[in-house]
């Protein structure tokens, strides 16, 4: 069976059995196609025939060995970050795991390969004062001002991902219960609390829409946040808006929507929120993913200790 067919079958299984998002499936397909193209040129049988001058045998996915994968990782190390290499290796490992389950190969050559050790990065976040300054800098005069304020008040109030923010529909907001329904990774829904200021900003924005004749504004199941054409605002547009606002505020470093999510988590933990509660709010599958925010708090505690303790 051709590698393209096997990859397509694997991607279909991710979609149907594990409910992976379209973005994740697309990334897996891209990574595996790139690996297959490399493996065609570096398969074990081809390496053996290089010096003999004999005709290269047809590529078979079951002939891929650990050395092929190591060669591929060595090739990737020349121009990719460790996080990218780790993700690509994870895709290869999952693919061969699927092939083993399907009886196409007998063992997984990627199991012999260790993932690259990842560098630990402390998440970029804003202080509470800077976060308030950023939000308060957004005006109230135009419909775009109202939308932008609603956007980032919602993002900071709930800590949701920018893709989840862009995917919100009008009916996902429960003003009475003060919660929003979010479609997270893997098409998993969760209910997230949202603060009064964010709800007021959303209501002001939607009221402003009522005075305009945008195509989707009267559709209850339509997108919550719209672009100037009246269609759903994209994640890329949200990032551009955030970058522009951050520059206008003269913040010390560039701010992305994800930095607002980092700020939400950090401020919650600093204020005494339970780690598992923050994990649930962020929609993290693993607690270890959320624990990176505790490093921020610990670093701040150590800094305060070094500055204040008389005998350190």
CB contact burial 245-255 (16+ within 10 A = b; e otherwise): bbeebebeeeb
Helix boundaries (H) for the chain: 3-16, 22-42, 44-49, 66-77, 82-101, 128-136, 143-158, 162-166, 196-209, 235-248, 257-270, 275-282, 287-308
pTM score over 0.75? no
Contacts within 8 Å (CB) and 24+ apart, 251-259? 251/126, 251/130, 251/134, 253/124, 255/124, 255/126, 255/134, 256/124, 257/155, 257/162, 257/165, 258/161, 258/162, 259/123, 259/124, 259/125, 259/126
Q: Which of 149, 261, 262, 267 is catalytic?
A: 261
DSSP state letter for 186: G
Catalytic status, residue 18: no
Q: Based on C-alpha coordinates, what's the Rg of the chain?
A: 24
Q: Is the pLDDT of residue 196 over 70?
A: yes
Catalytic position from the list 29, 46, 258, 292: 258
Q: What local confidence, expressed as pLDDT, does residue 62 receive?
A: 76
At residue 158, what are phi and psi to the nearest 5 degrees? -110, -25
Q: Is 161 an active-site residue?
A: yes
| Predicted confidence (pLDDT) at residue 46 exceeds the cutoff of 80 | no
Catalytic residue among 161, 205, 262, 267: 161
Q: Which of 185, 190, 206, 295 is catalytic?
A: 185
Is 121 assigned a catalytic role? no
Active site (annotated) includes residue 78: no
Q: Does the annotation count 185 as an active-site position?
A: yes
* 109-159 residue pLDDT tens: 998 888 777 665 656 888 899 999 999 999 888 999 999 999 999 999 999
pLDDT confidence band for 50 (50 / 70 / 90): low
pLDDT beyond 90 at 240: yes
Mean of the per-residue pLDDT values for the chain? 84
Q: What is the pLDDT confidence band of residue 56, given thresholds at 50, 70 and 90? A: low
Can 258 be counted among the known catalytic residues? yes
Asked if the model's pLDDT at residue 201 lies above 80, the reply is yes
Burial of 91 (0-12, 13-18, 19+ CB in 10 A): buried
Q: Which of 67-81, 192-206, 240-254, 298-312 has the highest mean pLDDT?
A: 192-206
- CA–CA gap between residue 87 and residue 105 (Å, rounded): 22
DSSP 106: S
**Domains in the chain, CATH or no CATH each:** 3-112 (1.10.150.130), 128-305 (1.10.443.10)
**pLDDT higher than 90, residue 280:** no
pLDDT mean over 165-190 = 90
Per-residue pLDDT at 174: 94
């Amino acid at each position: 069976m051709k590698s393209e067919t096997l990859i397509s079958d694997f991607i279909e299984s991710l979609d149907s059995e594990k409910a992976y998002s379209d973005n994740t499936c697309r990334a897996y397909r891209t990574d595996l196609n790139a690996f297959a193209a490399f493996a065609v040129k570096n398969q074990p049988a081809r390496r053996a025939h290089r010096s003999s001058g004999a005709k290269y045998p047809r590529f078979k996915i079951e002939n891929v060995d650990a050395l092929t994968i190591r060669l591929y990782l060595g090739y990737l190390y020349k121009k990719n970050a460790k996080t990218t290499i780790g993700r690509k290796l994870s895709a290869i490992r999952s693919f061969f795991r699927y092939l083993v389950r399907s009886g196409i190969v007998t063992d997984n050559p990627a199991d012999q390969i260790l993932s690259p050790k990842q560098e630990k990065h402390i998440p970029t976040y804003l202080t509470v004062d800077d976060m308030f300054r950023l939000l308060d800098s957004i005006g109230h005069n135009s419909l775009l001002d109202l939308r932008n304020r609603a956007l980032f008040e919602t993002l900071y109030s709930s800590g949701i991902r920018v893709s989840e923010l862009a995917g919100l529909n009008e009916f996902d907001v429960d003003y009475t219960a003060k919660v929003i329904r979010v479609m997270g990774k893997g098409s998993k829904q969760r209910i997230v609390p949202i603060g009064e200021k964010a709800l007021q900003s959303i209501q002001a924005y939607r009221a402003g829409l009522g005075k305009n004749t945008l195509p989707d504004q009267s559709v209850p199941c339509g997108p919550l946040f719209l672009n100037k054409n009246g269609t759903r605002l994209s994640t890329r547009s949200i990032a551009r808006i955030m970058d522009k606002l951050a520059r206008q505020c003269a913040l010390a470093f560039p701010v992305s929507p994800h930095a607002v999510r980092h700020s939400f988590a950090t401020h919650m933990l600093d204020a005494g929120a339970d780690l598992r509660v923050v994990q649930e709010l962020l929609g993290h599958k693993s607690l270890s993913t959320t624990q990176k925010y505790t490093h921020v708090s610990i670093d701040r505690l150590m800094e305060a200790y070094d500055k204040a303790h008389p005998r350190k």
